[in-house]
Amino acid sequence: MAKKISYYWLCQILGWSAFILVYIFFYLTLRSREAPYFYEVLFLEAAIGFLVTHVMRDFIRRFKLVDKPINEQGFYIFFVSFVFAVIYAAVGTTLERVLRIEPPKQVELALMNKILRAAMGCFMFVLIWNLIYFAYHYIIRARDTQLDRVRLQSLVKELELKTIKAHINPHFIFNALNSIRALIDENPGRARDAITELSNILRSSMQAEKQETVPFEKELNIVKDYLALEYIRFEDRLKVEYQIDEDTLDQPVPPMMLQTLVENAIKHGIGKQISGGVVKVISDFRNNFHELIVQNTGHLNGYLNGGGDGFGLSSTRNRLQLLFGEKANFEIRQVDSGLVEARILIPAENI
Task: Determine the pLDDT at residue 60.
Answer: 95
Q: Is the pLDDT of residue 196 over 90?
A: no
Pairwise pLDDT comparison (236 vs 211), residue with the higher score: 236
Q: In whole angstroms, what is the distance from residue 195 CA to residue 172 CA?
A: 14
Task: Determine the pLDDT at residue 156.
Answer: 61
pLDDT single digits (tens) 31-76:
878 888 899 999 999 999 999 999 999 999 999 999 999 889 999 9
Task: Determine the pLDDT at residue 181.
Answer: 82
Q: Is the pLDDT of residue 157 over 80?
A: no
Task: Determine the pLDDT at residue 208.
Answer: 56
Average pLDDT score over residue span 148-177:
65
Q: What's the pLDDT band for 2 if we cut at 50, 70, 90? A: very low
Task: Determine the pLDDT at residue 259.
Answer: 84
CATH 3.30.565.10 given to domain 185-347: yes
Task: Determine the pLDDT at residue 308.
Answer: 44
pLDDT single digits (tens) 282-316:
999 998 999 999 999 988 865 444 444 455 677 78
The whole-model pTM stands at: 0.54
Per the CB < 8 A criterion, the answer to whether 118 and 93 are in contact is yes
Task: Determine the pLDDT at residue 326.
Answer: 85
**Looking at 279-283, 310-314, 325-329, 338-342, which range is the least confident one?**
310-314
**Looking at 10-24, 239-253, 267-281, which range is the least confident one?**
267-281
pLDDT single digits (tens) 251-285:
999 888 898 899 889 888 888 888 889 999 999 99
Domain residue ranges in the chain: 7-149, 185-347
Q: Is the pLDDT of residue 1 over 50?
A: no
CB-based burial label for 9 (10 Å; 0-12, 13-18, 19+):
exposed
Q: What's the pLDDT band for 250 if we cut at 50, 70, 90? A: very high
Q: What's the pLDDT band for 101 if we cut at 50, 70, 90? A: confident
Q: Is the pLDDT of residue 98 over 60?
A: yes
Per the CB < 8 A criterion, the answer to whether 277 and 298 are in contact is yes
Pairwise pLDDT comparison (156 vs 153), residue with the higher score: 153
β-strand partners of 216: none
